[in-house]
Amino acid sequence: MVWVSALWSLLALPILGTLALIAYYVWNSRSEEHRKLRREGAEVVIPAKELVNGLGPDGILLGTDEQVAAYLDDCFKKWWDGGLRQRLMIYLNHHPSGRVRSVARS
């Protein structure tokens, strides 16, 4: 009977090793997908966030009316003509999270 349990343990090792290797590859591919999503999101979300942060009271209270108007016009051009809004909407609509996609629809 001892040889049966020894044989079973020898047969189980390759099976367990294969399962562990499959789990590793699945985990690694998912983490690569997450890294890609974070990278793509950072390329779109960070510039949009910087634009919105610049529209706060500090960004428009300092300076003459002409300077403020020029700054707001520049922000408008970045948002619409620069394609920032379009890239952000594409990212939001293709995001895997339903909560993020619902923000794009609102």
Q: What are 13-22's contacts with CB under 8 Å, separation 24+?
A: none
What are the tens digits of pLDDT across the range 30-50?
677 777 877 888 888 899 898
Q: How many domains does the chain have?
A: 1
55-59, 63-67, 80-84: least confidently modelled range: 55-59
pTM of this structure: 0.58
- Domain housing 29: 2-105
Angle at 13 between CA 7 and CA 4, to 5 degrees: 15
What are the tens digits of pLDDT across the range 86-95?
988 888 888 7
